[in-house]
Chain A
Amino acid sequence: MSALKLELKEKIIEQLNLEDLSVEEISDSEPLFGEGLGLDSIDALELIVMLDKDYGIKLADPKEGRKIFESIDTMAAYIEANKS
C-alpha cells in the first residue's frame, strides 16, 4: 500500500508539472485540491487519464473524481479496490 502511495506521489508530481515539490512534501491525508496541494479541475481531468492509463480504471463522469482524488489515501484505496 505505501509503495502505491509513493508511486502516486511521484506520478502526480510528474504528470501535473509540480517539479518544485518533493514526495516528502505531499502528505497521505492532506487534501489534494483547494486548500491543500491547490490542484484544480484541469488537474482532476489529468488524474482521470492517469487512472485509465496506468491502472486500467475508467471513470465516465468527472464528478466521480472528486471523492477519489480527495487525498493520496483515498486515491490509493480506490485503486486497490478497483484496479484491473
Chain B
Amino acid sequence: MSQGVAITGIGIISAIGNNVAENYASLISGKIGISKITQIETVHKNEIMVGEIAAQNDTLEKLLNLDADAYSRTPMIGIIAAQEAIANAKISNINDCTTGLISGTTVGGMDKTEQYFYDFYENDLHWNHITGLGAGDTTKKIANFIGLKESFVTTISTACSSAANAIMLGARMIKSGQLDRVIVGGTDAMSKFTLNGFKTLMIQSDTFNAPFDENRKGLNLGEAAAYLVLESDKIIARDNKKVLAYVKGYGNSNDAYHQTASSEQGDGAVLAMEKALNVAGLSPDAIDYVNAHGTATPNNDLSEGRALLRVFGANVPEFSSTKAFTGHTLAAAGGVEAVYSVLALQNNIIYPNLNFKTPMKEFDLCPETNLKQKELKTVLSNSFGFGGNCSTVIFSKEA
C-alpha cells in the first residue's frame, strides 16, 4: 500500500512542441499550434483547422531508428513522449521494480488502416499494419520500446477521457500496492477517420477554437502523446526521488444522457469533480486552478460551465482551457493537460484561455485570459468524452 501517488517524470509531444520544455515555452509565450491541415490529404483541408505535430512520419521514424512505414504515427509519438517521461524520472532500469504501462488511445493504427484499407487486398507490402488497428497494438509497441517484460500493460479507450482514466487506474494500482511504478497517459495521431467523424457531428471549427466564448464555433482536432511516471512511496524512498507533484484525487462517472453530447446541466461532470474532491479529501475552495476540458463546442462548454458553477458555487477558481493552443487531442488530452497541470504547479502559473472575447449568455463565467502568476497548491483537470464519459484528476504539490 502506498499513501501518496508521486509523479516523478513527464513527457509530451504536441502541436506546440516536441518535448516538455518546448510545450511550456509555447504556453507562456502564447504560441499556438493551430493551422490548416498539411500532413493528411483531405478534401476538407480548406474548411478545418487542426493542431498538428510538426514532425512528419519520416522524421519520427529516423528518430526511433525504425524502417520506413514500420509503425503507425500513434505509437511513434507515444514512444517519444513515454521515453521523455522515463528519462525525466531518471529511471535507468525499467524492470527494477514492478512497473506497468497504462495507455489511452482512440484511433490506434487507424492512420495506416485507412491508408491501406484496399491495398491489403492488392499486395502484401503493408500487411505489417493489419494487426495495428487493434488499440492494444499501439500500447504493445510502446511497452516493447521501453523494455517492459512480464509486466502489467493495458489500454483504455474511453474516447476523450482515455488518458485521464489511465492516470486514474495507475494511481489506484500504486495505492493498492499492485504496482511500484506505472507509466500512464495517452496517444492519438491525426487520421482521416476522426477528421471525417467529427465533421459528421458538425462540431469542428473552420477557425481558431475559442473555448467558453459565446460565439465559439466548435473544436480543432489535434494530435499528441503525453505520459507521466507515477511511483509509490517505497520507490521514492528507495531511490531518493525528486517528486514533481502528486496525483491527489480522481473521479469517473457517466453522464448517461446521450451517445455523444453532454447533459444540459453537466450531471456527469459534477459527479466526476465531486468524486475527485472526495478522494483527495479536499473541499472545492482548496482548488487553486481548473484546467478545463473546454473543447469550444457549443455543447461541452455550456455543460462544463454549468457543472463548474454547481461544484464551486459563486467561487469558481481561475480556469482556462489550453485547447486553443493544442487543439483537442482526444485520447491524449487528459495526459497533455496532466503535464500542463504539473508544470502549472511547478511554476505557479495559470495559462491563458486564448481567443475568448464574449462571455456566454447563459451565465456570468469568464476564463482566465492572461498568463497569471499565482501560488498554486492544487490543480483540477477535467476530461470528458463520448459515451458520457466524465473524468476529473486533481494534482497537488503536497502528498
Instruction: Check: B238 CB closer than 8 A to any chain A CB.
Output: no
Instruction: Check: A49 CB closer than 8 A to any chain B CB.
Output: yes
The answer on a CB contact under 8 Å between A48 and B202 is yes
Instruction: Check: A42 CB closer than 8 A to any chain B CB.
Output: yes
Question: Which residues of the other chain, A, contact B200 by a CB distance below 8 angstroms?
Answer: 45, 49
Instruction: Check: B361 CB closer than 8 A to any chain A CB.
Output: no
Instruction: Check: B201 CB closer than 8 A to any chain A CB.
Output: yes
Q: Which of A34-70 contact B (CB under 8 A)?
A: 40-42, 45, 48-49, 61-62
Q: Which of B182-240 contact A (CB under 8 A)?
A: 200-202
Instruction: Check: B347 CB closer than 8 A to any chain A CB.
Output: no
CA distance A15 to B86 in the complex (A): 50
Chain B interface, number of residues (Cβ within 8 angstroms):
7
Instruction: Check: B258 CB closer than 8 A to any chain A CB.
Output: yes
Instruction: Check: B259 CB closer than 8 A to any chain A CB.
Output: yes
A interface: dominant SS: helix
CA distance A29 to B258 in the complex (A): 27
Instruction: Check: B261 CB closer than 8 A to any chain A CB.
Output: yes
The answer on a CB contact under 8 Å between B202 and A41 is no
Q: Name which residue of chain B comes closest to A42, CB basis.
A: B259
CA distance A49 to B196 in the complex (A): 13
Question: Which residues of the other chain, A, contact B260 by a CB distance below 8 angstroms?
Answer: 42
Question: Which residues of the other chain, A, contact B261 by a CB distance below 8 angstroms?
Answer: 41
CA distance A45 to B200 in the complex (A): 7
Beta-carbon contacts of B257-268 to A below 8 Å, as 1s and 0s? 011110000000
CA distance A39 to B260 in the complex (A): 15
Question: Which residues of the other chain, B, contact A42 by a CB distance below 8 angstroms?
Answer: 259-260
The minimal Cβ–Cβ distance linking B335 to chain A, given in whole angstroms, is: 29
CA distance A42 to B201 in the complex (A): 8
The minimal Cβ–Cβ distance linking B255 to chain A, given in whole angstroms, is: 14
CA distance A83 to B202 in the complex (A): 21
Q: Name which residue of chain B comes closest to A62, CB basis.
A: B202
The minimal Cβ–Cβ distance linking B77 to chain A, given in whole angstroms, is: 31
The answer on a CB contact under 8 Å between A45 and B202 is yes
Question: Which residues of the other chain, B, contact A41 by a CB distance below 8 angstroms?
Answer: 258, 261
The minimal Cβ–Cβ distance linking A76 to chain B, given in whole angstroms, is: 23
The minimal Cβ–Cβ distance linking A40 to chain B, given in whole angstroms, is: 8
The minimal Cβ–Cβ distance linking A56 to chain B, given in whole angstroms, is: 17
The minimal Cβ–Cβ distance linking A50 to chain B, given in whole angstroms, is: 12
CA distance A77 to B258 in the complex (A): 30
Residues of B within 8 A of A (CB): 200-202, 258-261
Residues of A within 8 A of B (CB): 40-42, 45, 48-49, 61-62
- Pull 12 A–B residue pairs with CB atoms less than 8 Å apart, ordered by A: A40-B258, A41-B258, A41-B261, A42-B259, A42-B260, A45-B200, A45-B201, A45-B202, A48-B202, A49-B200, A61-B202, A62-B202
Which 8 residue pairs spanning A and B have beta carbons closest together?
Answer: A62-B202, A45-B200, A45-B202, A45-B201, A41-B261, A42-B259, A41-B258, A42-B260
